[in-house]
Amino acid sequence: MYWIDTHTHITMLPTIEEQDNCMERTLNAGVKKIVLANVDRDSIEPIAQFCLRHSQNAFPAIGLHPTEVFENFEQELVFMENLINENKTKYVAIGETGIDLYHDKTFKEQQIIAFREQLRWSKKYNLPVIFHVRNESATPQSTLTPSQTLTPSQTTTPASAMDEILDILKHEQNGSIKGVFHCYSGTLQQAQEIVEMGFYLGIGGVVTFKNSNLSEIVSQIDLSKLLIETDAPFLAPVPYRGQQNESSYIPIIGHKIADVKRVTPQEVAEITSFNAEQLFKI
């Protein structure tokens, strides 16, 4: 039995020694493969170097995160696509990309243009997409206090980022776009719509939070449509909530999903790992 972390930012750890020590703990925890999501130009090379050091276990993605979309976004996209074409690094996914309206809507239209361009990459290079979606008025599950609860009305709003992403995909999806909705935070109805369109849901540490409704959603979605992720160093699962996250905590998330689905952890590990290997070809 082994696990796969389909979304981590391990290279955000400040030193190579810390990164490699974290990877050693990850492997010792039975997590045999990790996918490193990209954020911007500056994160590309550290990810590439880490994946070279751990070529059997670590796999890079490339993309422009929506919160990193500014006036120069077109230049950044050209730079990234040139790297894909150079083929010096074997990328396994495009992303993370999408729409993020939580902190700042200044570049919303540019985010949408950048997202559409990266969908074009997905089709052109036959690479899956790692979708990042964060709504304007949603209460972020990572910052809820124990006294707060998440109501259905807080998970999506009219003209939310999720609504816009789904609307774009309805027009762009021709059967060739594959991918995963990273750190899924939408409604059950949206989740069902997403899996019907052929995409996966990325389930992370939030599923272990008492004030999250993610367990209820996971209970209604077939394991064949789920991937497991950490989003490390963010969103550590209980009992490490509020601390630095890492890929070695993937089994905690997997065991929680097993409890929710009323299956064995081995079944969760086998199915979600198979899903990841099929999607990312790793």
Task: Give residue-wise pLDDT tens across range 115-150.
Answer: 999 999 999 999 999 999 998 754 434 333 333 333
pTM (two decimals): 0.91
Measured CA to CA, the distance from residue 12 to residue 234 in angstroms comes to 10
CB count within 10 Å of CB 224 equals 12
SS3 99: strand
> Mean pLDDT, the chain, as a whole number?
93
- Do 58 and 34 contact (CB within 8 A), yes or no? yes
Cα(64)–Cα(39) distance, integer angstroms = 5
- Tokens 């996966």 correspond to what residue? 200
All structural domains of the chain with their residue ranges: 3-280
Residue ranges of alpha helices (H) inside the chain are 16-28, 41-53, 73-86, 108-125, 161-172, 188-196, 214-220, 250-261, 265-280
Q: What topology does CATH give the domain 3-280?
A: TIM Barrel (3.20.20)
Least confident among 134-138, 201-205, 275-279:
134-138
| Positive/negative CA dihedral, 44, 46, 47, 52 | positive
d(CA 211, CA 77): 38
Looking at residue 200, what is its pLDDT?
A: 98
